[in-house]
Structure 1
Amino acid sequence: MGLLKGIDPLLTADLLWVLRSMGHGDKICICDCNFPAYQVSTQTTSQKLVSLSSVSLPVAIDAIVGVLPLDHFVQHPARIMSPSPGMALPSEAVQVKAETQSSITKHAPAVVLSTLDRFDFYDEARTCFAIVQTSERRPYGNIILQKGVIGPDGTDLMPSSL
């Protein structure tokens, strides 16, 4: 295995291929170890499943959002799974959501996580370009990111109002 300068070593060759192959508006699902990743991946655009062993969701998000521009032209470029309506969010899920938001804010300060209830999340995941499964064990450690555009200056392209 070779390393590249400036590229987080968590970003495997398969994952870099996925991120580079995605176009503006494509979505990627980064999920926990309990998510039905293989089954859902068979219905994605690329039918690609990438495994990031021994990695939590926030650590994976830090590495991915460090190279993947988020879509600042849509209302919700980062959507995390939440329980079905009427169900309480377990304390571990609150923690993983806060840590994931912190990882996103590090690279895309204007992006705020929104929620998508569990069954809508599964449906949305099937429309993604690919699935990346982490070893996250906390409940609801699943997120969908929408890829944006890198501007001429090499940073995330943003609307002029931001």
Structure 2
Amino acid sequence: MLKGIPPILSPELMKIMMEMGHGDEIVLADGNYPAASHSNLIINGHGHGVADFLQAILAFFPLDTYVTHPVILMNPVEGDEKSPVIWKSYEDIIKKSNHIPINIGKLERMDFYERSKAAYAIIATSERAQYANLILKKGVL
């Protein structure tokens, strides 16, 4: 055990975040997300929600300030809620953890799935909220 590292961040996840380089992406996936078919590197985050992981990760993970959208959400399908409640939690967490404003982008569902296939890793959580998926792009210190 080490001091100051939240227990939600497993040794495997800390190693993966350390291995990632500038521009690499990690997906935080809700419980409905097809993680196993979209990546060979899956982190088991079952038992936890996406917001809990987001808060813990951003204490260590710099977001990319050289791109327009270092955080990307999955845009709801037409007919579903346009702005899921969980997104407000994400905005609050991101604002608290960054010294500069961070623009959050959105991708249509199938585009999000396609982009996630190129991500460094996917954290498969037990999040029950719909459209709780997000992609984080790593920056530099």
- Is TM more than 0.5 here? yes
Which one has more relative contact order, counting CA pairs under 8 Å at least 6 apart?
2
Unmatched 5+ residue regions in structure 1? 42-46, 151-162
Out of 68, 93, 99, the residue aligned to residue 75 of structure 1 is: 68
Match of 1:134 in 2: 125
Q: CA deviation at 1:89?
A: 3.9
Letter in 1 for 2:42: L
The answer on 1:106 being equivalent to 2:104 is no
- The answer on whether the counterparts of 1:56 and 1:134 sit within 8 Å (CA) in structure 2 is yes
CA distance in 2, matches of 1:82, 1:76: 14
Unmatched 5+ residue regions in structure 2? none
Q: CA deviation at 1:28?
A: 0.6
CA distance in 2, matches of 1:81, 1:33: 14
Match of 1:117 in 2: 108
Match of 1:143 in 2: 134
CA distance in 2, matches of 1:81, 1:31: 10
Percent of pairs identical after alignment?
Answer: 34
Task: Name the SS for the 2:73 alignment partner.
Answer: strand
User: TM-score of the superposition, structure 2-length normalised?
Assistant: 0.93
Letter in 1 for 2:12: D
Match of 1:95 in 2: 85
Letter in 2 for 1:53: H
CA distance in 2, matches of 1:147, 1:69: 6
CA distance in 2, matches of 1:110, 1:143: 17
CA distance in 1, matches of 2:79, 2:2: 43
Match of 1:31 in 2: 29
CA distance in 1, matches of 2:80, 2:102: 22
Task: Name the SS for the 1:94 alignment partner.
Answer: coil
CA deviations on 1:86-142 (whole Å, 9 max, x unpaired) are x14427x62111111111111124113221111100001001001011111111110
Out of 12, 17, 20, the residue aligned to residue 19 of structure 1 is: 17
Q: How much is the aligned-residue C-alpha RMSD, in angstroms?
A: 1.4
Match of 2:53 in 1: 60
CA distance in 2, matches of 1:95, 1:10: 23
